[in-house]
Amino acid sequence: MKRVLLIACLVAVGAGFTIRAPQPYRVVFDLTSRDTLDQKAVLRWIRETTGGHPEAEVEVVMYGKGFELVMPERSTMINDVTETMKNPKVSFRVCAIAMRNNQIDKSQLLAGVQTVPDGIYELTTKQQDHWGYIKVMH
């Protein structure tokens, strides 16, 4: 009887220590500002994230006036963005609604920058898919 009780206890305790596979490191940054401090911050955070975790997937979703970061005619950090985009695990996506509201054409964006139909929907979808969410602000 003691043996059965001991086995039952070990099974119960063992059930509490199930092994979980590590979750992938994925983060989406929400950039709505044309403020250069915010833009510098998101580029720094991308470098820090991917520098410490090369496997990390990073996406920057821009709406409001955040898309100016990836406009060569308006951005003072276009060289930093271009360098950051060399990492295949980093993507920059601009909301098509924000572009339409600001009369911006895709041709005005840095080559390689993608558009999404709705930036807010993109952010909520990423969160539902278990991406970490960071609002960029200083």
Section 12-27 average pLDDT? 72
Asked, for residue 109, whether it belongs to a domain, the answer is yes
Task: State pTM to two decimals.
Answer: 0.84
- Encode pLDDT of 45-82 as tens digits: 999 999 999 999 999 999 999 999 999 999 999 999 99
Q: How far apart are the C-alpha atoms of 134 and 74, rounded to whole Å?
A: 24
Comparing CA positions, the residue from 93, 100, 116 lying closest to residue 42 is 93
Q: Output the pLDDT for position 92.
A: 98
Which helix (DSSP H) or strand (DSSP E) does residue 18 occupy? none
What is the count of structural domains for the chain?
1
Asked, for residue 77, whether it belongs to a domain, the answer is yes
Q: How far apart are the C-alpha atoms of 58 and 29, rounded to whole Å?
A: 8
Q: Output the pLDDT for position 2.
A: 64
Does 10 score more than 70 pLDDT? no
Does 14 score more than 90 pLDDT? no
- Encode pLDDT of 82-112 as tens digits: 999 999 999 999 999 999 999 999 999 999 9
Asked, for residue 130, whether it belongs to a domain, the answer is yes
Q: Write out the residue range of the structural domain in which residue 108 sits.
A: 24-135
Asked, for residue 66, whether it belongs to a domain, the answer is yes
Asked, for residue 28, whether it belongs to a domain, the answer is yes
Structure tokens at 10: 């070990």
Section 10-31 average pLDDT? 75
What is the SS3 assignment for 108? helix
Structure tokens at 137: 């602000």
Q: How far apart are the C-alpha atoms of 8 and 23, rounded to whole Å?
A: 31
| Placement of tokens 């558009």 in the chain | 115
Asked, for residue 38, whether it belongs to a domain, the answer is yes
Q: Where residue 63 sits, what CATH number does that domain have?
A: 3.40.1260.10
Asked, for residue 54, whether it belongs to a domain, the answer is yes
Asked, for residue 88, whether it belongs to a domain, the answer is yes
